[in-house]
Structure 1
Amino acid sequence: MDPASEHPLRYSLVNELHARPSPRLPAPTTAVFVAFKEPLDAANRDRSVDAAHLSELVSRHGGPRPDPDDSHYQGRLGRHDLKWESHTEFVTYMATTPGLPIRPFDPSAAAIFPQAWQEAAPGRRVAAVMVQVDLLPDDPSDALKQAYGWFARDSLAAIWVLDEAALVAGDFRIDADGWMRFAVYVRPGTSEGRIGRLVHRLVELETYRAMSMLGLGRARSLSRRLNELEPRLSAILASMTDEARPAEQMLQDLLSVSIELEAQATQHSFRFGATSAYEAIVYDRISALRETRFQDRQMMTEFMRRRYKPAMRTTKSAEQRLATMLERAARAAELLRTRVDVERSAQNQEIMERMDRRADLQLRLQHTVEGLSVVAISYYAVGLLGYAATPLAKLAGLDKATLVAVLTPFVVLAVWLGMRQIKRRLHGDDHL
């Protein structure tokens, strides 16, 4: 087929489906897993720094160098098989080694990740998991007896998974060396691919649980801030019925609260969205285990329902409370704007009435001035005509007073008609 007819992303998108296969692990084996996250704005971090940190680890153990542009890596580092993945907010490292340490969950099993190297990571460690995979004893109760010596009984979860192909035990606690531990017992004959997928789901479960619970701290800090803002918002809403208080002042107070609420929403929206997404992945990974009860021990779903789900509900509650307060502030602002518009309309109407009265007064004043103007112009016109017509009056035998008396009505009429004509031309109205 002509390559030009292919979508440019077709092959890369298909290859992405196969880019991160689960490891193939024998039994017994030990898996050590760590995840690092930047404290701030991890989604926009410089990923080349993550690649450099990976290269440092690979170079330390003499492994094949990674491609700095790849988002995943698999390689052999001495006795260890290393798997590295770059995610939206974090990077993960999983090293697996055949066999088990002499002492169960010995920290020396994590020597591939030196303490100095971890401290130099571009982010901070959000997950550290150690998984021991062993063969299931003939009597599964013996496995549970071992688990009692490794885990806290009050939070121990022990379950059958994958149609009783394996037994998983863990207490979701962090030991003195900073590791969360899981013990996995598989039935003889279980394929390496199945064991690898099981271990991968367990470490993903812990990673996404840790990432989702980052929203809990944000929710608590947000709740404290909302506790401060809610009385202010309630006071503004209560004062809206007070006609004596200016609406503009209340609108300014409400604007201050709304700006703070919007700032909180902008600051927390990404974390709350990520928390919901990570929570869904956690439950998806638990569902993929297909767990069933082992003896009388609690199941992971029960543990999560009692210990994990309340934290997620707290996060959702804070998010919903913020959204509710934003809606209340928006409705209050709309009501206040309506009140301000009504008050301004009343003020504008009063101003228009005043302008009408002033216009009427000016019109009356104009008519008065026009009358006075006619009189004044007529007075001077009569005087000028009187001087001009005096010689003619003497020839006619009329005295000046009689001449002025005769001229005055005609002059006044002429001036008045002249003023009317000028007014008509100025206003363009033939009916005036």
Structure 2
Amino acid sequence: MPPIQDHPLRYQLANELHARPFPTMQGPCTVVFVTIKQEHQAVHRDRDEDLRHLIDLLDRHGAAHPKPGATHHSAQIGRHQLKWEQHTEFVSYMIYSSGVSARAFDPVDFEVFPEDWLDMAPGKRVTSLVFRVQPRPPADEMTRNLVDWFVPESLAVSEVLDGSAVMAGDFRIDPAGHMRFAVFVSPETGSRRVGRIVQRLCEIETYRAMSMLGFSRSRRLSDCIGGLDTHLSEMMVQMTGGQMPADKTLSQLLTISAELEAMAARSAFRFGATSAYEALVDQRISLLREERYEGYQNFADFMLRRYEPAMRTVKSTEARLGILADRARRAGELLRTRVDVERSAQNQALLESMDRRADLALRLQTTVEGLSVVAISYYSVSLVAYAGYPLAALLGLSKGTLTAMITVPVVALVWIAVRRIRKKLH
């Protein structure tokens, strides 16, 4: 019996579950992370440019190239380990190596990415992170480090994964242009778990930054939506009061509706992506199973206070845009109904006018037909009389008598002839 055939995508779909493995790292170590995104139309970008940029970095260290069409790749570059991932809108580079610098978050750590290579990147930097991963020190020493390394006002600290580590960050960009995170690892924590914690933090900040692009879009749209809302409200008042001709109002409404639909179409992807990124941020934070540390706000608290209001603004703008488009659509339908009713009334009046004109034309036609019978009869009597004068002389009849005798028959014959012609025409 021949073996059952596999679906063509069976292995590809199964392997997708194991794609993008977590990095493995053990403290102390340094991690630098950067994401690059094209400023416009990132979804439709040339993804081969991403691969060429990666290969340029690999060639500088003699590292192996990724497979054609790859969306993730890991390689050893010198004493560092590289992890590259390609996403829908951006690409990310993570480089990590053992050991930490004497100066915490030294800008030199980021120089593992060559400056000229960064300048040739096919896009703009969205996130730039530096991690300091080290063994968990005593509580008082950790507190001193947190005070020295971060801005207390926005510092978020939490114990994660059942005490496996303490992670901290203030979500501020330092003078070197990077965002700092510290991970203090407990002695019993394995290298895979450390890698998962760092990866989750990278994802949290990357997805947070990407979702904030929707917030920027909503702020730009806010003034436009407000202006269109005011204009639409004024037009509704004019519609109610009949202050403007319906056809002119309808034209303006169609212009507003078209503008709203264009705004919605241009923003649909960004708002949808923002919602997806927000869900990923919340999911990644929940996966870390945070516990409060020494009275500091944790990452969930920070996001609730600083991040969630921005996301609510995006949702509000999206809903407001949809509601305004629906209002314009309903107003247009009402106005079109009003225009149709007015046109129907005009058409009815026009038909009545045409009926009256047709009736007058019929009466005029009847009158003309009567006059035509008289005129034709007059000339016919004259012609018959001229033809009958010789006969009248033989019979001893006068011209008047002959004319009187033939008038009635001639008129009757003309009337019958005109009537037959009229019947044939109708």
TM-score by length of 1: 0.94
The answer to whether 1:189 aligns with 2:188 is yes
**Pairing 1:218-233 to 2, within 5 Å after superposition:** 218-233=217-232
String of CA shifts for 1:39-65, please: whole Å, max 9, x gaps.
Answer: 111111111111111111111122112
The farther-off stretch of 343-352 and 389-398 is 389-398
**Pairing 1:189-208 to 2, within 5 Å after superposition:** 189-208=188-207
**Pairing 1:10-21 to 2, within 5 Å after superposition:** 10-21=10-21
The farther-off stretch of 229-238 and 28-37 is 229-238
TM-superposed CA distance for 1:4, in Å, is 8.9
Partner residue of 1:111? Answer: 111
- The answer on whether the counterparts of 2:211 and 2:277 sit within 8 Å (CA) in structure 1 is yes
The farther-off stretch of 353-362 and 377-386 is 377-386
The farther-off stretch of 11-20 and 76-85 is 11-20
Partner residue of 1:53? Answer: 53
Q: CA RMSD of the aligned region, Å?
A: 1.7
TM-superposed CA distance for 1:246, in Å, is 0.9
Partner residue of 1:284? Answer: 283
Partner residue of 1:129? Answer: 129
Classify the secondary structure of the residue corresponding to 2:131. Answer: strand
Structure 2 distance, partners of 1:194, 1:380, is 122
Opposite residue 104 of structure 2, the aligned amino acid is P
The farther-off stretch of 139-148 and 284-293 is 139-148
Structure 2 distance, partners of 1:266, 1:93, is 32
TM-superposed CA distance for 1:111, in Å, is 2.1
- The answer on whether the counterparts of 2:164 and 2:188 sit within 8 Å (CA) in structure 1 is no
Opposite residue 286 of structure 1, the aligned amino acid is I
Partner residue of 1:321? Answer: 320
**Pairing 1:366-405 to 2, within 5 Å after superposition:** 366-405=365-404
Partner residue of 1:422? Answer: 421
TM-superposed CA distance for 1:387, in Å, is 2.3
**Pairing 1:16-415 to 2, within 5 Å after superposition:** 16-137=16-137, 139-415=138-414
Structure 2 distance, partners of 1:91, 1:213, is 17
String of CA shifts for 1:233-277, please: whole Å, max 9, x gaps.
Answer: 221111112334211111122222222222222222211111111
Opposite residue 283 of structure 1, the aligned amino acid is D
Structure 1 distance, partners of 2:118, 2:264, is 34
The farther-off stretch of 159-168 and 358-367 is 159-168
Structure 2 distance, partners of 1:365, 1:142, is 114
Unaligned runs of 5+ in 1: 428-432
String of CA shifts for 1:172-191, please: whole Å, max 9, x gaps.
Answer: 11111111111112222222
Opposite residue 134 of structure 2, the aligned amino acid is D
Change (3 A) 1:394 1:10: farther
Structure 2 distance, partners of 1:404, 1:72, is 119
Classify the secondary structure of the residue corresponding to 1:64. Answer: coil
TM-superposed CA distance for 1:3, in Å, is 8.9
Structure 1 distance, partners of 2:385, 2:20, is 118
Partner residue of 1:430? Answer: none
TM-superposed CA distance for 1:141, in Å, is 4.5
TM-superposed CA distance for 1:401, in Å, is 1.8
Opposite residue 212 of structure 2, the aligned amino acid is M
String of CA shifts for 1:101-153, please: whole Å, max 9, x gaps.
Answer: 2222222222221222112211110001111222223x344323322221111
Change (3 A) 1:62 1:243: same
- The answer on whether the counterparts of 2:101 and 2:109 sit within 8 Å (CA) in structure 1 is yes
TM-superposed CA distance for 1:82, in Å, is 0.6
Opposite residue 289 of structure 1, the aligned amino acid is L
Change (3 A) 1:210 1:244: closer
Classify the secondary structure of the residue corresponding to 1:111. Answer: helix
Change (3 A) 1:289 1:364: same
String of CA shifts for 1:12-62, please: whole Å, max 9, x gaps.
Answer: 222222221111112222211100011111111111111111111111122
Unaligned runs of 5+ in 2: none
Change (3 A) 1:236 1:2: farther
